Amino acid sequence: MADNLTLAALFKRIALLLELKGENPYKIRAYRRAAEALAALETPVTDLWATQRLTDIPGIGDAIAKKIDEYLRTGRLTFLERLEEEVPPSLVEVTQLPGLGPKKVRRLWQALGITDLNSLESAAREGRLRALSGFGVKSEARILEAIQAYRARPRGFLLGDARPVALRLLAILRDLPQIARAELAGSIRRGKALVGDIDLLLTSPVPEQALQAALKALQQPETPLTTHPTYAEAALTLPEGLPLHLSAAPPNRFGTAWVLSTGSAAHLNDLQQLAAARGQDPEAPFATEREYYAALNLPWIPPEIRQGNGEIEAAQHGRLPALVTAEAIQAELHSHSTWSDGRASIRAMAEAALARGLRVLAITDHSQSLGVAHGLTPERLRAQREEIRQVQAALGGQILLLQGAEVEILADGSLDYPDEVLAELDIVVASLHTSLRQPRERITQRLLKAIRNPHVHIIGHPSGRLLPHRAGADLDWEAVLTAAAENGVALEINAHPRRLDLDASLVRQAVARGILLAINTDAHSPADFDHRIYGVLTGRRGWATADDIINTWPPARLQTWLQSRRP
């Protein structure tokens, strides 16, 4: 499915460059729609291409089909290449600044010759922006601030981008006869939301040979190896732009190498101190991780909690949590259909959920005020209930469908449906989407009001952050967690790789207070259900057990809880 996502990214880029060029907005939207369609496609685009059925995909017509064909045949997209000559690609970065969209960036470019962050910064410093209509002294200050924040942004790749690449590489490497074993290490194995690179660990009696074979298989045979007494390593950059770090160790020290290459630095530091206190060598060779930890008189510690914040002490006292697993998830409680902004029908979503082994699916489309997402009025909500009933009847008892809603928390903290409408729903997810930049006091009170509404079961993506660099709302978390605990409302761990919200550190605080959590994918298409693993990894990083996560509960228990919250 790599081609689906690559093509989607290329068409998204075309859309943005066309916008900067000032093209027809509907043409731009067509490219965006095509990108979304490709990203949500459940079959490899190459299959449809091979059978000349590309235009069967809604949103893809003759022109875009031809471009897909060119890319799949030649690996190039001349249309994009020409576009990049007309529009400076460095402008794309400028549109990343909040408040600067394509129209303003285009004016900066056309009127002032600004092509990148540096030239924008000098122009703002020198007060040259205020000459343009629509820009004033305030926007100059805001832009300078935004550039600062952008440069200081957290670096890294989304877990959801890097992990699939890493798994694909592992599959290639595991097929090589020179490699006895290949495993994920580093921050991807630990499940961090943002990762700096891909770390893979190989083993072979002759580590250098394993590395050489790997580099050849990855078509980077010229990459230099660094040889150490006990292991060898190599670093390169993949065509996707992701740095890859490969290391290889002999089987008798694979366990040690795996611990060391998994990290985190803080965890390793704690291990080192423990070893020193016991007069042991922290790099002594062990074949398995279990043996490595056992030598320090510790049980094996799951990679997700190797963060250097109490896991070793917990291990020493036999208090390591039994972390939630992906297999334990039985319910998806936040999903969208074509009734609002989803890309698939209720039937298609239900079948996809069933195919992934889920026993409960809640359809939670947007509420009326989210116009952009085609939110449902109470009338359409009632009509939708009938369709859900029909799909439920068609699928029988294999999966339980719930009707819910993702209800807007409006700017004053009230919900977007009156109580009597909420009372008719099986499940209510309440979320913030707008006015996320309200001051702390105001937005906290707004969220607290929603938490206290007795119809609300789950607060969706509580902070509203968008990775890699849109921070969430400025919330008073102490107040939010206290209110969630008091009112028995579940907080969501939204599994979308751009969100992973709650963040793992907040998950840990919530778990410590006994707050219920929900791991939901917020799926807008069947393919999105596969984001679940990122939510699970985030929950594990926050020390969550299956019991903390309402999606692991058997359907009967879940339903009892949903109903018990009714006033």
**Residues interacting with DNA, by CB under 7 A?**
24, 26-27, 29-31, 33-34, 55, 58-65, 95, 97-105, 107, 133-139, 142, 341, 369-374, 411, 433-437, 466, 470
Cα distances from 451 to residues 84, 352, 376, 503, in angstroms, run 48, 31, 22, 19
Q: Which is nearer to DNA, 499 or 508 (CB)?
A: 499
Helix (H) or strand (E) holding 458: strand 458-459
CB of 157: closest distance to DNA in angstroms? 20
Q: Which is nearer to DNA, 375 or 535 (CB)?
A: 375
Round to whole Å and give the CA distance between 38 and 15.
14
Round to whole Å and give the CA distance between 366 and 376.
6
CB of 87: closest distance to DNA in angstroms? 15
Q: Which is nearer to DNA, 225 or 411 (CB)?
A: 411
CA 380 from centre of chain: 30
Sequence-separated contacts (24+) of 279-285 with Cβ below 8 Å? 283/230, 283/256, 284/256, 285/230, 285/252, 285/253, 285/256
CB of 398: closest distance to DNA in angstroms? 31
CB of 100: closest distance to DNA in angstroms? 6
CB of 553: closest distance to DNA in angstroms? 30
Round to whole Å and give the CA distance between 491 and 471.
18
Q: Which is nearer to DNA, 58 or 299 (CB)?
A: 58
From the list 165, 155, 145, 253, the residue with the least C-alpha distance to 203 is: 253
Q: Which is nearer to DNA, 7 or 185 (CB)?
A: 7
CB of 291: closest distance to DNA in angstroms? 48
Q: Which is nearer to DNA, 341 or 387 (CB)?
A: 341
Q: Which is nearer to DNA, 36 or 530 (CB)?
A: 36
Torsion-angle region of 348 (φ positive above 0: left; ψ -120 to 50: alpha; else: beta): alpha
CB of 456: closest distance to DNA in angstroms? 18
Q: Which is nearer to DNA, 72 or 275 (CB)?
A: 72
Extract the tokens encoding 325: 């697993």
Extract the tokens encoding 453: 């509404």
Indicate the burial class of 379 (C-beta count within 10 angstroms; 0-12, 13-18, 19 or more): exposed
Cα distances from 417 to residues 180, 226, 307, 368, 413, in angstroms, run 58, 62, 42, 8, 12
Q: Which is nearer to DNA, 190 or 336 (CB)?
A: 336
Q: Which is nearer to DNA, 220 or 435 (CB)?
A: 435
CB of 528: closest distance to DNA in angstroms? 17
CB of 107: closest distance to DNA in angstroms? 7
CB of 207: closest distance to DNA in angstroms? 47
Q: Which is nearer to DNA, 455 or 498 (CB)?
A: 498
For 101-128, the three-class secondary structure string (H helix, E strand, C coil) is CHHHHHHHHHHHCCCCHHHHHHHHHCCC
Give DSSP secondary structure letters for 501-537: BS-HHHHHHHHHTT--EEEE--BSSGGGGGGHHHHHH
Round to whole Å and give the CA distance between 261 and 182.
13
Instruction: With H, G, I as helix, E, B as strand and everything else as coil, classify residue 397.
Output: helix
Point out which residues pair with 105 in neighbouring strands: none
Extract the tokens encoding 538: 């985030």
Instruction: With H, G, I as helix, E, B as strand and everything else as coil, classify residue 437.
Output: coil
CB of 442: closest distance to DNA in angstroms? 10
